[in-house]
Structure 1
Amino acid sequence: MFNYKKLAIFLGYKTIRLIILLIAVAIISFVLIDLSPIDPVRAYIGEMAVSGEQLVNLQQYWGVGVPIWEKALNWAFDVFRGNFGISLIYRVPVLEVIGDRFQASLVLMFVSWLISGVLGFTLGTLAGMYRGSWIDKFVKIYCYILLSAPTFWIALLMLMVFSVYLGWFPTGLGVPVGVLSENVTFWDWLDRLILPATALSVIGIAQIALFTRDKLNNIMSSDFIIFAKARGEKGWSLVKRHGVRNILLPAITIQFLSFSELFGGAVLVEQVFSYPGIGQAAVAAGLRSDVPLLLGIVIFSTIFVFCGNTIADVIYKFVDPRIRESESNE
């Protein structure tokens, strides 16, 4: 029987951990930003010539010379009131920038998350089902190569092959240049999403495939599989009835645990394809010392990754009936 009381206690414990984590992340972020050698004023104006008065005004605007403890306290008080400040480079509220950019990134990450989960589980199941065959060897070689390749390199390679040389997809951006948002069709948007989503899903496919293969190999070597084979079960029906049921939940758990790699990969992929997502905004905020925007993105990305890990823990502890049964027997 599902224990809602234990789930409530578990979620309460996770909430406390999230609050502590957010405080620690905010402190570390402030320290790293303060230690950064980047001059925000110079990064903002570039080679433009400014007068002494203009330079002083810009330094006040960017908070140059303000003690770190004062900036941190002012930011914390504003956040408690629900105000994450104004982006210094976009000149709009931070929450508005995050909302607009995170929608684009969420679509990209969700599509790549589904692709990596479905294809990874399928390839892992085939490799485990035909252990030692050419299919198994092909899947392992494919996974090992991709796991050893950086995400940005894969994205650049796909951009060069499919966009530059073959011309099958646009070279970047989320919508066509010079087209108003209300005039962008679904196919225009989809055409620019396929390549970034595919590049982002490649690493996740390899991770899920290898995990699923190993799990299925262990199950296929167990006693109850030998007994099922003795009863005449074989082929896909054997794997479907006794294998898939036992590896599906662990694979889903690993898939939710991959939120941190997914978000980190999205930052690199968005830069390569000039995709207008939260990752590109984070890079711009870091290079130009937009402290309010950078801190807002750090906080929301921390919550995003933490939620993925929490969902994985809930699946592992409360959804899997075998674990619930073992805990009830203790």
Structure 2
Amino acid sequence: MELVKRVSRMMAPLLLRKGLGLILLLLAVSAVSFMLIHFSPIDPVQAYVGADMMKVSAEQREIIMQYWGLNEPPLKQYWNWLGAVASGDMGTSMIYRRPVLEVIGERFAASLALMGTAWVLSGIIGFVSGVLAAMNRNTWIDRLIRWYCYTLSSTPTFWIGLLFMLVFAVWLGWLPVGLAVPAGVTSDDVNLLDRIRHMLLPALTLSVTGVAAIALHTREKLIDVINQDYWTFARARGERGFQIFWRHGLRNVALPAITLQFASFSELFGGAVLAEQVFSYPGLGHAAVEAGLRGDVPLLLGIVLFSSVFVYSGNAMADMSYRLIDPRMKEGGKS
């Protein structure tokens, strides 16, 4: 009980500061996004109507603009939208004709399984690879892992996705080409195994591209530890292999790795957008691209806010986990 109270006292100022920072961030991001959308060359009415735009009269166009509030000055549009968001209403999607929150919730549920799987796999594989490379420095294992990381760091996510699709779906036929469920099958007939099979390729794409940063970072941190005097003294006492890493290396490299892993939420979300486009996976990233191309302002702004909260939460969790794991971390202090 005392531990819980101590943790609460330590986290309360941090949570308050992070909450205020999140509010300011959302205001800034929403204002900049709204301005960029306003100056975008995409005509929201034409994107809304589609191929039948030539059949729409000037009066009908005015009615559509009035219905969606597009005839108002930009500043008033933003103020009206901001007031609606403050009351919990993010508007209605122009593409799906459904509430924005409902569309985001449905699409994020699909993306969460994809990004969560990729996040865990990339973190574990990257950390283990970095440890192996550092513990076997300048050997063929180290060179192989570094070659793998440098190659993936310079490879676009969509190219990796296309390559995996060509090999595993087209040539070998082991996995489906895309989508989240089999085509032509009702939702009642889709089982968990079908969903996992359709998620494997996009999750694998995100995983292998996310390994490089955590592996190289962990390798450099562990090499710094190996060069310390206490590591040399431990080796002189006869400690080797996993024993010496567990006693003297794990704690020193785990904290930076955790921070980097949580801070990778932005890259994970950006990679998910590309992976979902390649595999036609109906997640939040796919919805963001559709909203941008078809001028769905309410949905696009809603996704921008949601992604900002997602990335900011990852950074906040990194800070909190750092302080929970290492009690020596104090506000304004040095580790």
Identify the TM-score tier after normalising by the shorter chain: over 0.9
Of 233, 238, 246, the residue aligned with 2:239 is: 233
Deviation at 1:166, TM superposition (A): 1.9
Matched, 1:38 2:61: no
Is the 2:292–2:300 contact (alpha carbons within 8 Å) kept by the matching residues of 1? yes
Matched, 1:50 2:55: yes
TM, length-normalised to structure 1: 0.95
Is the 1:7–1:318 contact (alpha carbons within 8 Å) kept by the matching residues of 2? no
TM, length-normalised to structure 2: 0.93
Matched, 1:205 2:211: yes
Matched, 1:181 2:168: no
User: Any idea what SS the aligned residue of 1:15 has?
Assistant: helix
Matched, 1:122 2:131: no
Alignment deviations for residues 137-174 of structure 1 (CA, whole Å, 9 cap, x no partner): 00001000100111111112211221122221111100
Is the 1:86–1:292 contact (alpha carbons within 8 Å) kept by the matching residues of 2? yes
Alignment deviations for residues 19-45 of structure 1 (CA, whole Å, 9 cap, x no partner): 111000110011001000001222233
Is the 2:48–2:94 contact (alpha carbons within 8 Å) kept by the matching residues of 1? no
Of 14, 18, 22, the residue aligned with 1:14 is: 18
Of 135, 151, 154, the residue aligned with 1:148 is: 154
Q: Counterparts of 1:155 and 1:140 in 2: how far apart (Å)?
A: 21
In structure 1, what is the equivalent of residue 198 of structure 2?
Answer: 192
Structure 1 unaligned residues grouped into runs of 5+: none
In structure 2, what is the equivalent of residue 27 of structure 1?
Answer: 31
Structure 2 unaligned residues grouped into runs of 5+: none
Q: Counterparts of 2:329 and 2:86 in 1: how far apart (Å)?
A: 39
Deviation at 1:327, TM superposition (A): 4.3
Deviation at 1:322, TM superposition (A): 4.2
Is the 2:70–2:77 contact (alpha carbons within 8 Å) kept by the matching residues of 1? no
User: Any idea what SS the aligned residue of 1:305 has?
Assistant: helix
Alignment deviations for residues 200-237 of structure 1 (CA, whole Å, 9 cap, x no partner): 11221111110111111111111111111111111222
In structure 1, what is the equivalent of residue 249 of structure 2?
Answer: 243
Q: State the one-letter code of the partner of 1:146.
A: L
Alignment deviations for residues 88-120 of structure 1 (CA, whole Å, 9 cap, x no partner): 110011110000000011111000000101100
In structure 2, what is the equivalent of residue 111 of structure 1?
Answer: 117
Change (3 A) 1:272 1:143: same
Is the 1:317–1:323 contact (alpha carbons within 8 Å) kept by the matching residues of 2? yes
Q: Counterparts of 1:281 and 1:326 in 2: how far apart (Å)?
A: 41
Matched, 1:86 2:92: yes
Q: Counterparts of 2:128 and 2:56 in 1: how far apart (Å)?
A: 63
Change (3 A) 1:233 1:191: same
Q: Counterparts of 1:231 and 1:324 in 2: how far apart (Å)?
A: 34
Q: Counterparts of 2:33 and 2:331 in 1: how far apart (Å)?
A: 42
Q: Counterparts of 1:151 and 1:95 in 2: how far apart (Å)?
A: 28
Is the 1:41–1:62 contact (alpha carbons within 8 Å) kept by the matching residues of 2? no
Q: Counterparts of 1:51 and 1:270 in 2: how far apart (Å)?
A: 34
Q: Counterparts of 2:306 and 2:116 in 1: how far apart (Å)?
A: 16
Deviation at 1:64, TM superposition (A): 3.6
Q: Counterparts of 2:231 and 2:334 in 1: how far apart (Å)?
A: 26
In structure 2, what is the equivalent of residue 134 of structure 1?
Answer: 140
Q: State the one-letter code of the partner of 2:74.
A: I
> What is the aligned-residue identity percentage?
54
Q: Counterparts of 2:76 and 2:92 in 1: how far apart (Å)?
A: 17
Q: CA RMSD in A?
A: 1.9
Change (3 A) 1:322 1:130: farther
Deviation at 1:305, TM superposition (A): 0.4
Equivalent pairs counted in the alignment come to 329
